[in-house]
Amino acid sequence: SYELTQPLSVSVALGQTARITCGGNNIGSKNVHWYQQKPGQAPVLVIYSDSNRPSGIPERFSGSNSGNTATLTISRAQAGDEADYYCQVWDSSLVVFGGGTKLTVL
């Protein structure tokens, strides 16, 4: 079965750029979606199909996908960006989530 690997945690200084990776075999050939989840809340879609932002998501959120790694980039990180982030792909009609990355804004 297909697996997605994320770092358990990423730290970023306030106002700096955070990068969260999602590794998978030839993930560049798949569409990757990213979700943000804050404590006690449902996940929220922040990037879809590798690099597209849903309405209402700040331009500070961007994504890329190539080879074996997809990356969620958060520019000018704010305290409100502190959350868990999950990548997700579809694989043969099944859904796969990464294990999640806790982003800490210092």
Partner 1 sequence: EVQLVESGGGLVKPGGSLRLSCAASGFTLSSFAMNWVRQAPGKGLEWVSSISSSSSYIYYADSVKGRFTISRDNAKNSLYLQMNSLRAEDTAVYYCARGNYYDPFDYWGQGTLVTVSS
79 binds partner 1 (CB under 8 A): no
Rounded Cα distance between 79 and 96, Å, is 28
CB 87 within 8 A of CB 32: yes
Residues 49-68, one symbol each (x = binds partner 1 by CB under 8 A, - = not), give x----x--------------
Rounded Cα distance between 11 and 32, Å, is 22
CB 72 within 8 A of CB 64: no
Q: How many CB atoms lie within 10 A of CB 5?
A: 14
3 binds partner 1 (CB under 8 A): no
Q: Which is nearer to partner 1, 18 or 63 (CB)?
A: 63
CB 101 within 8 A of CB 84: yes
Q: Which is nearer to partner 1, 4 or 12 (CB)?
A: 4
Residues 20-49, one symbol each (x = binds partner 1 by CB under 8 A, - = not), give -----------x-x-x-x----xxxx--xx
Residues that bind partner 1 (CB under 8 A): 1, 31, 33, 35, 37, 42-45, 48-49, 54, 84, 86, 88, 90, 93-100
